[in-house]
Amino acid sequence: MSTRAQQYAADVVAREQVTPHLVRLTVEVPGFASTGIADEWVGLVVPGQFQSRYYTVRSVEGSRLVLDVVVHQVGLVTEWASGDPVGQQVTITEPKGSFLPPPDAGWLLLVGDLTALPAMARIAVEHGSALPTRIVAEVPTDSRIDGYFTDGVEVTWLPTDGDSRLAEVVESLDFPEGPGYFWMAGESAQMRAIRKHLMRERKLPSTQYDVMGYWRSVAQRQPRAVDPGPIWRAGKAAGKSDEEIWADYDAAQEAGR
């Protein structure tokens, strides 16, 4: 029998446009319990929606979380975060994380695109003083942030025209000698290619790497054919369960095809 994940009511207390593609949100989440894992993520459900989108916790201090949100032309969270969300209430889901270097790791190699910046930054803060850390970040020129990473880590910024080439980059990297830990996140197809490379070519033990697909590339992001916002609000007003609202949304999508 499945159980519903813990959810928290949270208040947005600050918003900052860090770059054209990155918005920093500070949320107050009473009762929040961090996993303590450096790449932990939470689901974010914004007002008028009932679907969550997942974001790394850039930093956490007590009940206050900082989320660096990548914004696109369209999207469930983009449209909301691009406005003025301060003072609004959102839902934060139970945090999860996967960063776990083996005890004998002598180095960290972190690779990712814009969506991976928050996790790489937090990992560097929490582990960079104990392990030599190198970061390779594939980020648009206008989203390279001076001082985003803690002092003492080696950072290489790579240009991108929108199409990720991180698989090629990783295949050409010189890995440090001895056992270490390779962490990477970005576009899913690139991550699949990199996993194969690490297993078949590098022959790294599975305990020495963690590679996660954060998003899927499409030719062009499309606006939603059916806006779930009105369906969610109507369902809640009618006292429907989340499962019943999902069914209404699925039916509306089917009718629109």
What's the pLDDT tens digit per position in 60-81?
A: 999 999 999 998 776 778 889 9
Three-state DSSP string of 75-105 = CCCHHHHCCCCCCCEEEEECCECCCCCCCCC
Distances (CA, A) of 98 to 4, 27, 101, 185: 20, 23, 10, 12
**Separation CA 153–CA 128 (nearest Å):** 7
Q: Domain 7-96, what fold?
A: Elongation Factor Tu (Ef-tu); domain 3 (2.40.30)
* Most confident stretch, 4-8, 119-123, 238-242: 119-123
Mean pLDDT of the chain: 88
Q: How many Cα atoms are found within 13 Å in the side-chain-facing hemisphere of 231?
A: 19
Element (H, E) at 179: none
CATH 2.40.30.10 placement within the chain: 7-96
Residue 7 above 80 pLDDT? yes
Distances (CA, A) of 163 to 115, 130, 139, 184, 185: 13, 34, 11, 17, 15
Q: Return the pLDDT at 52.
A: 86
CATH 3.40.50.80 placement within the chain: 108-215
Q: Return the pLDDT at 2.
A: 41
Residue 3 above 50 pLDDT? no
Q: Return the pLDDT at 222.
A: 46
pLDDT digits (tens, 9 = 90+) for 172-216: 999 999 999 999 998 888 899 999 999 989 999 999 999 998 887
Percent of the chain with pLDDT over 70: 89
Helices 242-256 + 228-237 axis angle, to 10: 140
Percent of the chain with pLDDT over 90: 61
Average pLDDT, integer, range 97-108: 96
The residues that bridge with 106 in the sheet, in sequence order, are none
- Biggest alpha carbon distance in the chain? 61
The CATH number of the domain covering residues in 108-215:
3.40.50.80
Q: Return the pLDDT at 225.
A: 58
Whether the CB-CB separation of 99 and 123 falls below 8 Å is answered with yes
**Separation CA 34–CA 76 (nearest Å):** 25
SS3 36: coil
Q: Return the pLDDT at 255.
A: 66
Q: Per-residue confidence at 1, pLDDT binned at 50, 70, 90?
A: very low
Q: Per-residue confidence at 58, pLDDT binned at 50, 70, 90?
A: very high
Q: Return the pLDDT at 207.
A: 94
Q: Return the pLDDT at 27.
A: 98
pTM above 0.85, yes or no: no
Lowest mean pLDDT among 17-21, 191-195, 197-201, 227-231: 227-231
**Separation CA 248–CA 254 (nearest Å):** 10
pLDDT digits (tens, 9 = 90+) for 131-179: 999 999 999 888 888 899 999 999 999 988 778 888 999 999 999 999 9
